[in-house]
Amino acid sequence: MNKLIVANWKMNPSSESEAIQLAKASDEKGVVVCPPFPFLGAVKNALRKADLGAQDVFWQNPIPGGAFTGEVSISMLKKIGASYVILGHSERRNYLGETDEIINQKVKSALAFGLKVILCVGESLSTRREGLSQAESFVKNQITKDLKGIPSSVISSKSLVIAYEPIWAIGTGKADKPEDSASMAAYIKDFLKPKTSNLKPNVLYGGSVTSLNAARIFEHQEIDGALVGGASLKTEEFKKIIKIASK
């Protein structure tokens, strides 16, 4: 599959057996399955072709451990078989107080200790209403802060994926116009170009992707795949998205 498809299950499903069923149905090369922490081990065992990702990680990598109640380290994720981590999701930024400074620490550590990062960025509806160029400035600012101090060799490696997720499109059923997301993806690649010695990082689109809009999104070369929330929890729907991405 040319495209990368990331399944963000968020705080779902409700049982391990459902997680295993869902994982088996999503198990294709080019897919990254990101279950909640308690299901990581069971999902890893169920996967043969897809990669495993986590939805967050602590911003330090204390080995063998540390006094950080409730946190999960990079080493723990790697040991359980995760190769990716989603960072900077707008739900964590907006409801859980994650700042660009915290996200920057997490991105730095994850990349330094060998986890691939799917960095989520995206503007609010009020910013987007000011126009696409306002949205671009907002996203540029987020990426600049989130990648601060990270060497260009790391940014240009395939360890970093940017997920452009306009906040107003997440879980609303109102996906962005594919041509607008494609133009944002191109903007992000251009903006990162001086830092990446021409090796452009993959840019995904996220926000109400379904089997009905996937083809129109994926036909844009600038968009390297999708981060899928709600639709990744519906096996038949998600299979259709994977099939469309494989064309």
Is 165 among the catalytic positions?
yes
**Measured between alpha carbons, how far is residue 179 from residues 142, 157, 185 in Å?**
22, 26, 10
How near is the Cβ of 176 to ligand PEP at its closest, in Å? 10
118 makes contact with ligand PEP (CB under 6 A):
no
The residue among 123 and 196 lying less far from ligand PEP, judged by its C-beta, is 123
Binding mask 138-167 for ligand PEP (x = CB under 6 A): ---------------------------x--
Binding mask 170-189 for ligand PEP (x = CB under 6 A): xx------------------
Q: Is 119 helix (H, G, I), strand (E, B) or coil?
A: strand
Do 196 and 152 contact (CB within 8 A), yes or no?
yes
The DSSP call for residue 177 is P
How near is the Cβ of 90 to ligand PEP at its closest, in Å? 7
**Measured between alpha carbons, how far is residue 99 from residues 2, 200, 209, 240 in Å?**
33, 26, 26, 35
Q: Is 245 helix (H, G, I), strand (E, B) or coil?
A: helix
Q: Which stretch binds ligand PEP (CB under 6 A): 46-54, 151-159, 211-219, 229-237?
A: 229-237
Q: Six-digit token pair at 172?
A: 């609303």
Q: Is 120 helix (H, G, I), strand (E, B) or coil?
A: strand
| Positions in 33-72 near ligand PEP (CB under 6 A) | none
201 makes contact with ligand PEP (CB under 6 A):
no
117 makes contact with ligand PEP (CB under 6 A):
no
Number of shown-chain residues binding ligand PEP (CB under 6 A):
14
How near is the Cβ of 200 to ligand PEP at its closest, in Å? 22
Q: Of 196, 202, 139, 183, which is closest to residue 165 (Cα–Cα)?
A: 139
Q: What is the DSSP string of 35-64?
A: --GGGHHHHHHH-SSSEEEES---SS--SS
Q: Which stretch binds ligand PEP (CB under 6 A): 137-145, 206-214, 217-225, 237-245?
A: 206-214
Q: Which residues bind ligand PEP (CB under 6 A)?
A: 8, 10, 165, 170-171, 206-209, 227-231
Catalytic residues, by residue number, are 89, 165
